[in-house]
Amino acid sequence: SAVISQKPSRDICQRGTSLTIQCQVDSQVTMMFWYRQQPGQSLTLIATANQGSEATYESGFVIDKFPISRPNLTFSTLTVSNMSPEDSSIYLCSIPGATNEKLFFGSGTQLSVL
Amino acid sequence: QKEVEQNSGPLSVPEGAIASLNCTYSDRVSQSFFWYRQYSGKSPELIMSIYSNGDKEDGRFTAQLNKASQYVSLLIRDSQPSDSATYLCAVNIKAAGNKLTFGGGTRVLVKP
């Protein structure tokens, strides 16, 4: 299976600042997904990152807060903008398996906002 | 009703015993079901996939699927302390655009 590298692995940020998370895959993939996992909660899909077009956001998530870039088929970034303590979560990038059903996850970014 | 439901636990089992985890889902036409293991502070790791009714075994893990009753379960035989983790059930929900929808997870604690 593909290797998914995500960085930073963790960060502590101040309220009102922004953080960009990078996700690099060692092979070309059509779709990449960004998930959020709030403390003690399950995974919630933020958006699907599409190469060559704007990301598709899930209900409750907006581009101004979570801008996403997908410059090529191996790389994507998620920015968490104007952060507040409520944004403290694990952020995960993921790619689908060969049959586009299962997902494989990067190592995650543990974000704490003070 | 949540689309994918799990008992949050913790499920406490003695070492060597069988841990039994259950998951129910709302979308009757779902076809793909997955179990992920997540250690504290780590990302989810896929451990089982199941697509047809019945049992599927892989090492100490057995996944069981019953589409008529809309539940999928995971059995962990000969539980080890290293199995202590949160187990996430995930289902392809057609109503959600065939996206993978996760349950809240069951925390398992295996006591030596």
In angstroms, rounded to a whole number, what is the distance separating the alpha carbons of residues B15 and A21? 39
CB-hemisphere CA count at 13 Å for B40? 6
Report the gap between the CA of A66 and the closest CA in chain B (Å): 20
Q: In terms of CA atoms, which chain B residue is nearest residue A92?
A: B43
Q: Tens digit of pLDDT for each residue in A58-81? A: 999 999 999 999 999 999 999 999
Q: What is the mean pLDDT of chain A?
A: 93
In angstroms, rounded to a whole number, what is the distance separating the alpha carbons of residues B91 and B34? 6
| Phi, psi for residue A87 in degrees, rounded to 5 | -85, -5
Q: What is the model's pLDDT at position B98?
A: 67
Report the gap between the CA of A48 and the closest CA in chain B (Å): 10
Share of chain A above pLDDT 90, in %: 82
pLDDT at B96 over 90: no
- The beta-strand segments (E) located in chain B are 4-6, 11-14, 19-25, 33-38, 45-50, 54-58, 61-66, 71-76, 85-93, 99-102, 106-111
Closest partner residue to A42 among B49, B99, B104, by Cβ?
B104
Decide which of B27 and B103 is more confident: B103
Closest partner residue to A42 among B34, B88, B92, by Cβ?
B88
pLDDT interval class at A97 (50, 70, 90): confident
pLDDT at A99 over 80: no
Task: Write down how long chain A is.
Answer: 114
Q: What is the model's pLDDT at position A68?
A: 97
pLDDT at B85 over 90: yes
Closest partner residue to A43 among B41, B42, B102, by Cβ?
B102
Closest partner residue to A103 among B100, B104, B105, by Cβ?
B100
Q: If you ran DSSP here, which 8-state letter would residue A105 be given?
A: E
pLDDT at A9 over 80: yes
Q: Is A104 in contact with B46 (Cβ distance < 8 A)? A: yes
CB atoms within 10 A of CB B81: 10
Please give the order of strands across the beta sheet that includes A4-7. A4-7, A19-25, A75-80, A68-72
The tokens for A114 are 């003070």
Q: What is the model's pLDDT at position B29?
A: 85
pLDDT at A44 over 80: yes
Q: What is the model's pLDDT at position B11?
A: 97
DSSP H helices in B11-97: none
Report the gap between the CA of B103 and the closest CA in chain A (Å): 6
Q: In terms of CA atoms, which chain B residue is nearest residue A97?
A: B46
Residue A92, chain B, CB below 8 Å: the answer is yes
Decide which of A39 and B21 is more confident: B21
Q: Is A41 in contact with B104 (Cβ distance < 8 A)? A: yes
Q: What is the model's pLDDT at position B45?
A: 95
Q: Tens digit of pLDDT for each residue in B16-74? A: 999 999 999 998 888 899 999 999 989 999 999 999 999 999 999 999 999 999 999 99
Q: What is the model's pLDDT at position A102?
A: 87
What number is the average pLDDT over the span A101-113?
93
- The beta-strand segments (E) located in A14-106 are 19-25, 31-37, 43-50, 56-57, 68-72, 75-80, 89-96, 103-105
